[in-house]
Each structure stands twice: as structure tokens, then as C-alpha cells.
Structure 1
Amino acid sequence: MQIGSYVLRNNIFVAPMAGVTDRPFRQLCKELGAGYAVSEMAASNPKLWETEKSTRRTNHEGEMEPKAVQIAGADPVMLADCAKFNVDKGAQIIDINMGCPVKKVCNAWCGSALLQHETLVGQILDAVVKAVDVPVTLKFRTGWDRANKNALNIARMAQSAGIQMLTLHGRTRADGYKGDAEYETITAVKAAVNIPVVANGDITTPEKAKYVLEVTGADAIMIGRAAQGRPWIFREIEHYLRTGEHLPPPLISEVRHLMDSHLKEHYAFYGDYLGVRTARKHIGWYVQDLVGGEEFRQQMNLLTSCDEQLAAVSHFFDRMAGERLQYRPFEEKMAA
């Protein structure tokens, strides 16, 4: 798998997720087998470029290459300037967000709201591609709603503009994350263009990864929510695609080690105050499959220092050394 001149280790990618795929999480996923990861989206408004939040979102210090930044906005000139700004800061790939379904984003005519305005989409694609000398990619959805699906049009426009890779989440904006992903639309897009296509949506197991690659003909897959609290899913999928065999679930002791390392990197990245608060969701995801995990999560959410969090995590795992993690099906977790 290749994007521009960058040869990737495999075709199993981490989806950009706001508030989740920060540098410590992206790096952990790459260490555990992901071939590629994209940053959380960076706002195109220049007033926000130097804010603490934006600076942190585009921090790639020490991260495995290639370093990819996702940009979001609705103005072609601002998006082009934002792309140039991030390339000057070290971005090696620029990804344009036309897939986010969140109301706050769509109400500003950004993310998947852009799919309602194909002329504007074309202007944005042309402006960003011409503005930078690095590969530009696009993440989008199948359309605004089921009565207005235009993924094929957008894909052809993107290829004509010089976009070098497409990532398609197999749902409309109106679907959000409900219902089943439309793999038939991803299949149609792959057949319509000559650039790499990445399939995204409902890929939660090694078997599902293999199925989606086979049924869509996609060049790669992108994992989002299924990696939350389970970053080793990338090595599981990589091993299964290569051998047809399953890796055993990780030992609780390895989960503890990974979680401990992740938390320390997380605290160093955010600082004590934000670190302890933003770590809570990650801790909750890690322990949700473990006996007593929900009770522990509620107790841990009351802690206000990094040292207290680390001590609580250590105490929680002390009683489970030597056991293997037992998964609940992803769909069951989401329904809980």
C-alpha cells in the first residue's frame, strides 16, 4: 500500500476520531500493527491555528512516518492556506474531512455537510491539491441522506482534482453511526476510480476485515471505534489476513503494561490537569471487558490526579495477572 512516495507497512489504518486519535494513541496503534494513522481534524480558520487545542492536535513529534493531518472547513482559500500551514509544520500528507456527521461541524457547513454542494466540493479539492506539494487525500460519506447519495460523483471529482486516496465511510450523514455500512457503495466507488480506496465502517473483527476487503475490492480498511480500548486489534487483523489464523487474546498483564505506558505518554502530552481528565475515557474502554470494569470506571472518574489514576489502575489489575482478556462482541458493547 502506497500514498504518494510513502510505502505503508500494511493496509490496516486508524480512523481519525476527534478527542481520541491524539499523538499518544496514534503512536500506540502504529506500534501495535496499524499501517497508517491520521490526526484529529484541524480547523481551517486561521484564528484557531495557534490555539493550544489546535497545536496539540497537529503535534507529530517523534511519531512514525508518514505524518498525516486532517483539515476541516468550508472555504476553499482557508482550507488551502491551512494545508500549507500544516505542511510547513511537518505534515507529509493532508486529508480533507468531508465525512464528519457531528451537528456542530455540519452546522458550520463543514464535514459531511459539504456533500450537499458538489460545486463547492470541487473548488475545495482543486484549491487544496494546488496549494501543497504533498499527497492530498479525502475522507467522505456516501451522501447527505439516503435520498441524496452522491459518492460516485464525489469520487470521480476527487480523482480528477488530483486526490491520491479516498476513504469512504459506508453511511450517509443522516445515518450517523446507525444501521449497517453500505459496502455496495464502497464497491461501486472502487470500480469507478483508479486511485486507492479505503473502506471504513463496522470493521470490528479480523473476519469482518477480510470480508470487507474481499467484497468491496478496497485497497485498505480503516478501523475507528473498534480500536477504542483495544489498540491491539491492528495486529490481530494483520496476523489473520496474513495467516488465516487468530492470535490469542492478550494476557491481562500485557493489557496492563500497554495501558500503563499509554497513560504515561498521555499525561506527558496533555499535562496533569487535562491528562487525568482526558484519560478517563481511554481507561474506561480498556477495562470494559474485565470483571468489575464498570464499577472501577465509575470510581476512577472521581480521581483528580495522575498518580491517583495510575495507582488505581495498578490496584485493579493486581488481582488478574495471568488471565487472558475475554471480549464482548463490539455490537454488544455499543448497545450497552
Structure 2
Amino acid sequence: MSVQIGNIDLGEFPLLLAPMEDVSDPPFRYVCKQHGADMMYTEFISSEGLIRDAAKSLKKLDIFEYERPIGIQIFGSDIEHMREASAISSQAGPDLIDINYGCPVKNVACRGAGASLLQDIDKMVAMTKAVVEATHLPVTVKTRLGWDDNTKNVQEVAMRLQDVGIKALTIHGRTRAQMYKGSADWTLIREIKKNPLINIPIFGNGDIDSPEKAAAWRMEYGVDGMMIGRAAIGYPWIFREIKHYFKTGQHLDKPTFAERIDACRTHLVKSIEWKGPKTGVFEMRRHYSNYFKGIDNFKEYRMKLVTAGTFEELEEILHEIEHNPKFENYVHSVEI
């Protein structure tokens, strides 16, 4: 049975790419889409930034046809500003609008946005209603279990947000107090999914980093799909590996060394196309160690990659890596 968000058909058990600040930009989304992500989101975008036409916020509205279905994720602390941001985002032509009620970082949560709204459910409901009313698109929400262990109120959140019109809910299995530490707990996510009064898709998020875990948790927690974040950084093959395991019960071969270089090069090219040669090269530096994680004797090349200043230099380094005999053992299979 297909999962539907409004009129968007996501197939039987969709794998979603999480919106991650400074990561989930169009170049990164491109390589994840190539390797099986079913739906993706922009980096979260400040409602304040959109309203005052801040260049950085407006740039994040860039979406491309090959990315569909894609959602624009917005966050903020002011209800009217979120209403305006919803309308502005809708004009960029996404398939849905997503509200971030999950970001735990200080400069978001301590300004009354993101996970902070878990401390004021009435305001969260009013804000969500405003966003829903301001757009013709489906509205979804991403949130956490609660603010801390004493206030795990996500069940109330799910019911009340469904009542004001959201079409799907993604739940990260940690509280705001946990940040990204400890283990994600999906037991409350399962309870929400089992609640007969909940009729929207429920997606689980947090700690999905292998095909085996994805398959086990799919059975154990009964969610409609999964959102994958950190495990996809430098390893977009996670999506195709999970899908293959679901289908066959077998492990797909790990990406070859050549595939790693190809994905890295594609990411670099897309980064330069979207950001320009200077910024594109500079901002790609955060990704190299992830693409070549676990490869012995790679430090020298990692240093070269993060200090190169032009595409031509980087292309030369990647070519040299590709043809270096000391990496021959990695040609057929590389473990992460």
C-alpha cells in the first residue's frame, strides 16, 4: 500500500532524506536522489530571513525538477512571520511545506523556534494552523519526543497537529535535552502509529545507519517510512542498500572505490554549478573525509583535497587518487 502525502505518492515504504543545516543543499540532494532517496527537504529556512529577503535564506529556496518530490522546511518563533514564510515558500514551487519543531541547537531553540515550541503546544498548534491556511500545498511537521524526559508530549502533538491539517509527521526519537547524544528511542513513535485516531503517515527518524537496522525497526515499530540524516553524509548509497535489503534480504555490494570518487566528483561539480567556483570549492571541503572514510593511508590526499583552491586542482587530485596503485585493494569493495 502506497504512502500518500496529499496527492504525493511515495510508494510502499519511502526513505526520506532529512533536512540538515549546511548539508542538505541541492548538490548533496542530487547525489542522494541518484542513489534512491524517495523524498527530500531543503535545509531549514528562517521565516525571518525570508520576510526580510535575506540572500542566504532566499538561495535555500532553490529547487530543481529532478529533486521531486521535495519539501521546503521553514522555522521561526513568530506566528505571523511563519504564515508569511509559508506563502513565500509556496511560490518557489515545492511539493510540500515542512515545519521544523525539532532543531535542538541553541541559536534556534533558545530563540523560541525549532524544538522550543515543544514547551508551548498551544503556540505550536496556532503556528501550524497559520502555515496550513497560508498555502495550497500539503504541510508536514518534523519534531522530537519532547523537550526533556519529563515532558515527552509528542502524542499530544501528533493528535493536535493532525486536527489542524498536517498531512504527515516525522518524529526524531530523542528529546531536545538529548541533542544528538545517546540512543534514539522509537517506542513512543510506535504508540503514535498504533493509535487508531492517527490517520496521517508517521515517519521515524534517528539512528538508522544500516540495512539490518532499517529492516528490524520497520517490523518492530510499524512506521510508514524512515527519514535518514547523518548516515547519508558521504554515503548516499545507504538508500539503495536499505531498499535492496528490504527486497531481497541480501546485502548489496558496498560502493567500489571508483563509485566513491565518482559520487564525490559529481557532488563537487554540482556544488560549483550552484554556488560558483570559489564558494563551491570551499564548502565542498567538509565532505571529503566522509566520502573516503575508512580508507587506509588516505590522510595525505585528504589534506590535498581540503587545501586545493580550484576545480582544476581538485580534478587532478581525484584523478591521481583514482589511479594510485596503493588503493587497488579498494577497487572492488569498500567497507564503511
Matched letter for residue 116 of structure 2: A
What is residue 217 of structure 1 aligned with on the other side?
222
Q: How far does residue 34 in structure 1 lie from its aligned partner after superposition?
A: 0.9
What is residue 146 of structure 1 aligned with on the other side?
149
Give 1:309's match in structure 2, choosing from 314, 318, 324. 314
Residues 31 and 149 (structure 1 numbering): CA distance in 2 closer, same or farther, change over 3 Å?
same
Residues 295 and 149 (structure 1 numbering): CA distance in 2 closer, same or farther, change over 3 Å?
farther
CA distance in 2, matches of 1:69, 1:81: 14
What is residue 108 of structure 1 aligned with on the other side?
111
What is residue 263 of structure 1 aligned with on the other side?
268
Give 2:19's match in structure 1, choosing from 16, 20, 31. 16
SS in 2 for 1:221: strand
The reply to whether residue 45 of structure 1 matches residue 48 of structure 2 is yes
What is residue 305 of structure 2 aligned with on the other side?
300
SS in 1 for 2:98: strand
The reply to whether residue 167 of structure 1 matches residue 170 of structure 2 is yes
Matched letter for residue 100 of structure 1: C
What is residue 140 of structure 2 aligned with on the other side?
137
How many corresponding residue pairs? Answer: 328
Q: How far does residue 226 in structure 1 lie from its aligned partner after superposition?
A: 0.4
Deviates more, 1:50-59 or 1:282-291: 50-59
Give deviations 1:68-107, integer Å, cap 9, x for gaps.
Answer: 1000101111111101111112122000000111111112
The reply to whether residue 226 of structure 1 matches residue 231 of structure 2 is yes
What is residue 61 of structure 2 aligned with on the other side?
58
What is residue 239 of structure 1 aligned with on the other side?
244
Q: How far does residue 122 in structure 1 lie from its aligned partner after superposition?
A: 0.9
Deviates more, 1:310-319 or 1:74-83: 310-319
Q: How far does residue 272 in structure 1 lie from its aligned partner after superposition?
A: 1.3
The reply to whether residue 280 of structure 1 matches residue 285 of structure 2 is yes
CA distance in 2, matches of 1:264, 1:277: 12
Give deviations 1:47-67, integer Å, cap 9, x for gaps.
Answer: 666333222211003333123
- Residues 44, 73 of structure 1: 8 Å contact kept: yes
Identity %: 36
- Residues 146, 175 of structure 2: 8 Å contact kept: yes
Residues 40 and 196 (structure 1 numbering): CA distance in 2 closer, same or farther, change over 3 Å?
same
- Residues 171, 203 of structure 2: 8 Å contact kept: yes
What is residue 332 of structure 1 aligned with on the other side?
none
Matched letter for residue 191 of structure 1: K
How is 1:181-220 mapped onto 2 (pairs within 5 angstroms)? 181-192=184-195, 193-220=198-225
CA distance in 2, matches of 1:295, 1:171: 38
Residues 54 and 143 (structure 1 numbering): CA distance in 2 closer, same or farther, change over 3 Å?
same
Give deviations 1:134-173, integer Å, cap 9, x for gaps.
Answer: 1000000001111111111111111111100000000001
Deviates more, 1:110-119 or 1:290-299: 290-299
How is 1:15-94 mapped onto 2 (pairs within 5 angstroms)? 15-46=18-49, 50-94=53-97
The reply to whether residue 122 of structure 1 matches residue 129 of structure 2 is no
- Residues 49, 55 of structure 1: 8 Å contact kept: no
CA distance in 1, matches of 2:52, 2:247: 41
Matched letter for residue 279 of structure 1: M
Residues 210 and 268 (structure 1 numbering): CA distance in 2 closer, same or farther, change over 3 Å?
same
- What RMSD, in angstroms, separates the aligned Cα atoms of the two structures? 1.5
Matched letter for residue 216 of structure 2: Y
What is residue 327 of structure 1 aligned with on the other side?
335
CA distance in 1, matches of 2:236, 2:270: 15
Give 1:6's match in structure 2, choosing from 2, 5, 8. 8
Residues 67 and 49 (structure 1 numbering): CA distance in 2 closer, same or farther, change over 3 Å?
farther
When normalised by structure 2's length, the TM-score is 0.93
SS in 1 for 2:226: strand
Q: How far does residue 283 in structure 1 lie from its aligned partner after superposition?
A: 1.4
Matched letter for residue 199 of structure 1: G
Gaps of 5+ in 1: 329-336
Deviates more, 1:305-314 or 1:97-106: 305-314
Matched letter for residue 317 of structure 2: A
- Residues 100, 114 of structure 2: 8 Å contact kept: yes
CA distance in 2, matches of 1:46, 1:32: 32
Matched letter for residue 110 of structure 2: N
Give deviations 1:256-280, integer Å, cap 9, x for gaps.
Answer: 1222122111111111111111101
Give deviations 1:198-256, integer Å, cap 9, x for gaps.
Answer: 00000000011111111111000011000011001100001111111111111111221
Residues 291 and 40 (structure 1 numbering): CA distance in 2 closer, same or farther, change over 3 Å?
same
